[in-house]
Amino acid sequence: MKKLVLIFCLLVFSFLSLFADTGANIADSEGKLNYFELIVGPSLSALCIGLSILEDAYFGSKPPSIEGYYIDRLTIAGAHIPAILSSPLEGGLLLSLSASQWITAELTSGEFTAFFKDFIWSHPSHLAMFSTYTAYRVNRLKADPELYSKNWRDESILNNWISRIDFLKDFQRSTQWQDYSFLDLSLATLNPENFLDPMILPIFIGFFIPFFQNSHDYAFWNQNRAFVGTLKLDPLIATPLMGIFFLFESIIIAVTEEAHFRGFIYEEMGSNFGSGMAKIFDSIYFPSIHIPTDLLLSQYDLKQSALHFLQRSALTLYLDFLYDRGGLPLSTTAHMLIDFTLFFSSWLLISGIPHADISSMLKKMLPLSLEYRIPL
């Protein structure tokens, strides 16, 4: 019971701290940064993120070791250092949250909490991704505004073509760069205005696709029972509980990954090389960092890994387009909805049987379903 209370307190601390508005309001700061001073910190942070992904793939193929554990943790901690140097409050908070999640994951066990361990274990990596964006946006606010083109996203050919369609014109957002806090982006994912964008609406259809692709034999409405992990609960309790949990997780994943991949990497590439080159780079870079893990999970099935690469490339281009169209609020909303619809529909279809963790849950679905999801 003491362990469960400690886990609960750590999670409450994390959520309350994470959603606190610590936005850097420093646009009028003296002494403008040059381009090198602006970019070196977030670039080193992004490098740490890439290294941690490769380390996960490498050590994941071997028996658990203390060496791999500490190397991975030190790499993720290193990703927070540029954010701490740029904004001690935000960077320090993100690092402390990562540490609290490591402790929580270590303490998590038992039939109820074990199912959530995979999610908690991934939080430090996602918080490190947001640290990269934090260092970038804080530095950019301190930098000479003439370093960047304000409206480079206007160059997007597809965005310009779609914007000419009459009923879509009203949904076009500002294409100028803006800085966002974690709270800003979290609230954006719940903004009805973003849900109503015609380019977002198709995602809602995705919620129902798994119900046509998969059997309903293991669903709670056929089993007359529901499980959260291996713990049996009344379906009327389990369903809203899991809905709320998946919503929170999807927001955290979407905010952190979009801030990192679109808010820093794609934004920086687009600002310097234009929309077309940024899309080519992003559609190759993002799937590429998943190749080691894909090969490991597919047991080195090259055909399946190649298919996953193409699927992630297509989804990356879609999110890039939404970023061009409405900035981080729109792409983050789409990312959240993609994750939430897959997680929740997947759980509903196997809710009537025990499942030890998220991996065992998703493996019961069609293999392709998992690849429509950005995380991991």
Model confidence pLDDT, tens digit, residues 316-345: 999 998 898 888 999 999 999 988 988 888
Q: Which of 129, 147, 165 finishes a domain? A: 147
What phi, psi does 215 have (nearest 5°)?
-70, 150
Q: What are the C-alpha distances in Å from 29 to residues 57, 164, 273, 352?
A: 42, 39, 28, 57
Q: Same domain for 169 and 141?
A: no
Average of pLDDT values for 115-123?
Answer: 78
Give yes or no: residues 163 and 260 share one domain. Answer: yes
Instruction: Answer yes or no: is 160 within a domain.
Output: yes
In this predicted structure, the answer to whether residue 115 has a pLDDT above a threshold of 90 is no
Question: Could you write out the DSSP letters of every residue in 227-257?
Answer: EETTEEE-HHHHHHHHHHHHHHHHHHHHHHH
| SS3 state of residue 364 | coil
Average pLDDT in the 174-192 region? 88
Query: What is d(CA 46, CA 44) in angstroms, rounded to the nearest whole number?
Result: 5
Last residue of one domain, picked from the residues 114, 129, 147: 147
Instruction: Give the ranges where the chain is alpha helix by DSSP (H).
Output: 2-18, 35-60, 66-86, 88-107, 117-142, 157-163, 166-169, 182-188, 192-195, 201-206, 209-213, 220-223, 235-260, 267-273, 275-288, 291-297, 302-350, 358-363
- The answer as to whether 240 is a domain residue is yes
User: Considering the entire predicted model, what is its pTM?
Assistant: 0.86
Predicted confidence band of residue 84 (pLDDT cuts 50, 70, 90): very high
Average pLDDT over residues 32-42: 91
366 in the same domain as 247: yes
Q: Is residue 221 part of a domain?
A: yes
Tell me the three state secondary structure of residue 143: strand
* CA proximity to 266, closest of 196, 356, 328: 328
Mean pLDDT score, 274-300: 79
63-76 burial code (b ≥16 CB/10 A, e <16): eeeeebeebbbebb
Nearest to 332 by CA among 268, 254, 260: 254
Domain encompassing residue 84: 1-15+32-147
Average pLDDT for 154-175: 64
User: Is the residue at 278 inside a domain?
Assistant: yes
Res 190: pLDDT: 92
Residue 76 sits in the same domain as residue 100: yes
- Note whether 160 and 142 are same-domain residues: no
Whether pLDDT at 305 is above 80:
no
Helix (H, G, I), strand (E, B) or coil at 226: strand
pLDDT at residue number 134: 95
Q: Are residues 58 and 83 in the same domain?
A: yes
Q: Which two tokens stand for residue 303?
A: 């055909």
pLDDT of amino acid 214: 78
Residues 120 and 178 in one domain: no
pLDDT category of residue 374 using cuts at 50, 70 and 90: very low
In a domain, 21, yes or no: no
42-80: pLDDT as tens digits: 999 999 998 888 887 777 667 777 887 788 889 999 999
Decide: helix, strand or coil at residue 290. coil
- Judgement on whether residues 225 and 363 belong to the same structural domain of the protein: yes
Instruction: Give the mean pLDDT of 85-99.
Output: 89
Looking at 124, 147, 170, the residue that finishes a domain is: 147
What pLDDT score does 25 carry? 47
Cβ proximity of 323 and 282 under 8 Å: no
CA angle (354, 297, 112) in 5-degree steps: 25
What pLDDT sits at residue 187? Answer: 93
pLDDT at 9: 60
